[in-house]
A and B are shown apart, each in its own frame.
Chain A
Amino acid sequence: MVAKQSKKKNEFLYFALRNNKLRIGMTVVLLFVVLAIIGPWLTDFVPRQYATAGPNAPSSEFWFGTTSFGEDVFTQFVYGLQATFIVGLLGGGLGTLIGILVGFIAGYRGGLLDEILNMMTNIVLVVPSLVVLLIIAAYLEVRGLVFESVFIGCFAWPWAARAIRAQTFSLRSREFVDLARLSGVKPLRIVFTEIAPNMMSYLLLVFILQFGGAILTAATLDFIGLGPTKGISLGLMMHNAILWGALILGMWWWFVPPGLAITAIVGALYITNVGLDEVFNPKLREM
C-alpha cells in the first residue's frame, strides 16, 4: 500500500505544485488566513473601540483609516476576517457533513430511501432561506456567529448532497462493490471502506466549494443586516459603511477593504478548486 500511495501522492504533489491556479489561489487564501491569525497583534484596539475623532482617511497611524465613529477600520478588518473564516469553516463544514450523509445513503441504497431523500433535498433547495431567516430574526433577538454558521450549513447541504449522490451512484455499480457484498461485508462498511476512499479528492473539492459559498452567504446576510447581532465581520463592516453614508461621503476605506477581501478570498477558493480538479483528473491536465 505504501509504495503506490507515496507514488500517487508524489504524482499529485508534483502536479499540485506546478498548477498555477492552485498556487495563486492557495497563496491568496493563506495570506488572508495569516492576516486573520496575527492581525489582533498588529493593532492596539478592539473593533468597537473609540480610537480617535471622526472619520479619517488611511494614514500611517490608522492603516485603513477610521469609521464615522472613530473606530479603527484595520482592527475591524482583521477581527472581521477571523469571523469570516470561522463561519466558512463551521457553515461549510456542516453543509459538507450533512451533504455527505444524505448523498452516501441516497446514492448507495437507492430505491424508496433515495426518492425520499431526493425530495427532501429538493425541498430544502427551493425553500427561500432568506425568508426563513427573516422570520427567525423576528423572534431571535440575539444571534451569534455559531447560529449563523449552523443556519448557512442547514441550507447549503443540498448542493453537496446531489454531487455526492451522483458519484456514489456511479461507484456503487462498479464490480468491486459487488465483490465486497459477495464477501459478506455490511452495506455501511462498504460505503466507508470502499466507496468513500475513492471519492476523497471529490469530497475535498466539495468542501472547498462549501467553504467559499458559506463565506459569501454570510457576507450577504451580514450586509443586509441579518447577520450576528454582536461581533464584527466583513459583511457587517460593509453594512455599517453603507448605513452611515460611506458611499455618499466618499469614505472608500470603510467598505473597499472588506469588499475586496471577500471577493479575493472567495474567488481564490474557486480558482483553487478548478486547479485541484485539474490535479486530480489527469484528463484535464495540460501537457
Chain B
Amino acid sequence: MLELEGISKAYRVGTFGGRQLVAVNDVSFDVGDREVVSLIGESGSGKSTIGKMILRLTSTSGGVIRFNGTVISGLKKGALKEYYRNVQGVFQDPFSSYNPIFKADRVFRIIRQAFFPKIGNQEWKEKVNRSLGAVGLNSEHVLSKFPHQLSGGQLQRFLIARALLLDIRFLVADEIISMLDASTRIDVLNLLADLKSRGLSILFITHDLSLGYYISERAVILYRGCVVEMGKTEGIFDNPLHPYTRMLMESVPRLDKKWEAVKAELKAKQAGLTTGCVYYERCPAAGRSDDCKTNRPGLHEVEAGHFVACCRNNAS
C-alpha cells in the first residue's frame, strides 16, 4: 500500500543555509494491506520526520513515496485532498492537537467543511456517532466539550475517530500513546489493533519496544536517519543482529527480566553457546521439562533407526 524508496530529508542550517543536517538518510520500506509496521527509534532517529513526509507535512529532499502506486510528492490541491481522504495522522500530544480556545468537536466540523460540504445534518450525525462508537467513545459524553475537559485518552481516541470519518486506508500514529497514562495506553493500543482487523494499515512510530512488539507484525529499527534493521517483529526481538538493535534490547527496561539477565541471554545467543537444549526458546511449553534448560540432550535411539535429541523423549 505504502512504499518508501530511498527517502531522505536534509535541513539547511546556519546563516543562509550554509550547512546541512541530514535527518533521514536513504530510508526504504513498505507497508502492506492490513499491516501494522512499527517504526522504532530514539530521539533524533528521524522517525517523526518520516511520518511527516508521508503525511506531506514536510517535503522530501530525495527519494519517492508511493501510495498504491501513485507518487505523492507531485500531488496538488484536489489530488492532495483525495490523498488525505485515504491517509491521516494522529500525533503525540493530545492537548496540543486541539486549538485550546475552541471545542473539541471542531475538528469534526473542519473535516465536514473540507470533505463533506454537501452532506445533510442527519446523515452527518449518524456518521459521527458511528465513528465515535468505533473508537469506544460515548457521543453524549464527548461532544460539545472543550479539550481540557476531556482526558488524554479520550482526546486521542477522538482524533482516531476523526480519521475514521474519512474511511482512511492508512494511519500514521506518531507516538500517540506516550503521553497517556499507563492504564489508558493499552486501551488505545487495543483500539489500533482492532482497527487493523477492519482493514486499516498503520505505521506505528514509537520509541518503546514493548509497544512495538505488542501490536506490529513487522518492525523497522531506525538510528540517526538510517534503517539499521528490519523484518518480522518477533525475529528482530528474539535475535537482534545489528549492534544498535542489540543495545536497544539490552537497555530497554523490561518487566520480566532484569538487565543483567537480558544482557547475558543476548550474549549467549550471540556466542552460539547455549546450555541446555537449542530448541528451548521456541519449544511449546507442553514439550518442555525442567531438564531442557540445563541439559543438552544427546541423540537417543527411541526405536530402530529413529534418533531424537529431546529430554522429554529420552525420559519416556
The answer to whether A and B touch in the complex, with CB atoms under 8 Å apart, is yes
Task: Given A176-B97, A179-B107, A181-B57, verify A1-B102 contact (CB < 8 Å).
Answer: yes
Q: Does B93 contact A (CB under 8 A)?
A: yes
Question: A182, B80: Cβ atoms under 8 Å?
Answer: no
Question: B115, A184: Cβ atoms under 8 Å?
Answer: yes
Q: How far is the CA of A178 from the CA of B110 in the complex (A)?
A: 13
Q: Does B38 contact A (CB under 8 A)?
A: no
Question: A175, B97: Cβ atoms under 8 Å?
Answer: yes
Closest chain B residue, CB of each to CB of A5 = B101
Query: Which chain A positions have C-beta within 8 A of B110?
Result: 180, 183, 185
Q: Does B29 contact A (CB under 8 A)?
A: no
Q: Does A122 contact B (CB under 8 A)?
A: no
Query: Which chain B positions have C-beta within 8 A of A181?
Result: 57
Q: Does A194 contact B (CB under 8 A)?
A: yes
Query: Which chain A positions have C-beta within 8 A of B80?
Result: 184
Question: A198, B84: Cβ atoms under 8 Å?
Answer: no
Question: A1, B97: Cβ atoms under 8 Å?
Answer: no
Question: A183, B111: Cβ atoms under 8 Å?
Answer: yes
Question: B103, A175: Cβ atoms under 8 Å?
Answer: no
Query: Which chain B positions have C-beta within 8 A of A1?
Result: 102-103
Q: Does A174 contact B (CB under 8 A)?
A: yes
Question: A182, B101: Cβ atoms under 8 Å?
Answer: no
Question: B99, A176: Cβ atoms under 8 Å?
Answer: yes
How many residues in B have their beta carbons less than 8 Å from beta carbons of A? 27
Q: Does A197 contact B (CB under 8 A)?
A: yes
Q: In chain A, residues 178-234, which have Cβ atoms closer than 8 Å to a Cβ of chain B?
A: 178-185, 194, 197-198
Return the CB mask of A162-184 against B: 1 if under 8 Å, else 0.
00000000000011101111111
Q: Does B55 contact A (CB under 8 A)?
A: yes
Return the CB mask of B88-120 against A: 1 if under 8 Å, else 0.
110111001111111100010011001100000
Question: B114, A178: Cβ atoms under 8 Å?
Answer: no
Closest CB-CB distance, A181 to chain B, in whole Å? 6
Q: Does A4 contact B (CB under 8 A)?
A: yes
Q: In chain A, residues 29-55, which have Cβ atoms closer than 8 Å to a Cβ of chain B?
A: none
Closest chain A residue, CB of each to CB of B98 = A176
Question: B111, A198: Cβ atoms under 8 Å?
Answer: no
Q: How far is the CA of A174 from the CA of B92 in the complex (A)?
A: 11
Q: In chain B, residues 155-179, which have Cβ atoms closer than 8 Å to a Cβ of chain A?
A: 159
Task: Given A174-B96, A175-B97, A176-B97, verify A183-B89 contact (CB < 8 Å).
Answer: no
Task: Given A4-B146, A184-B80, A184-B84, verify A179-B114 contact (CB < 8 Å).
Answer: no
Q: Does B81 contact A (CB under 8 A)?
A: yes
Partner of B114, one of A4, A8, A176, A183: A183
Question: B115, A198: Cβ atoms under 8 Å?
Answer: no
Closest CB-CB distance, B149 to chain A, in whole Å? 8
Return the CB mask of A64-104 against B: 1 if under 8 Å, else 0.
00000000000000000000000000000000000000000
Closest chain B residue, CB of each to CB of A4 = B146
Return the CB mask of B274-292 against A: 1 if under 8 Å, else 0.
0000000000000000000
Question: A178, B57: Cβ atoms under 8 Å?
Answer: yes
Partner of B99, one of A8, A182, A184, A194: A194
Question: B99, A178: Cβ atoms under 8 Å?
Answer: no
Task: Given A184-B114, A185-B110, A185-B114, verify A179-B97 contact (CB < 8 Å).
Answer: yes
Q: How far is the CA of A8 from the CA of B149 in the complex (A)?
A: 13
Task: Given A182-B88, A183-B84, verify A176-B103 contact (CB < 8 Å).
Answer: no
Question: A182, B97: Cβ atoms under 8 Å?
Answer: no
Query: Which chain A positions have C-beta within 8 A of B114?
Result: 183-185
B interface list, Cβ under 8 A from A: 16, 52, 55, 57, 80-81, 84, 88-89, 91-93, 96-103, 107, 110-111, 114-115, 146, 159
Shortest Cβ-Cβ A-B pairs, 7 listed: A175-B97, A175-B91, A184-B114, A184-B81, A175-B96, A176-B99, A183-B110
Beyond A174-B96, A198-B101, 7 extra complex contacts between A and B, CB < 8 Å: A1-B102, A175-B91, A175-B93, A183-B84, A184-B80, A194-B99, A197-B101
Q: 30 interchain pairs (CB within 8 A)?
A: A1-B102, A1-B103, A4-B101, A8-B101, A174-B96, A175-B92, A175-B93, A175-B96, A175-B97, A176-B97, A176-B99, A178-B55, A178-B89, A178-B91, A179-B159, A180-B110, A182-B55, A182-B57, A183-B84, A183-B110, A183-B115, A184-B80, A184-B84, A184-B114, A184-B115, A185-B110, A194-B99, A197-B99, A197-B101, A198-B99
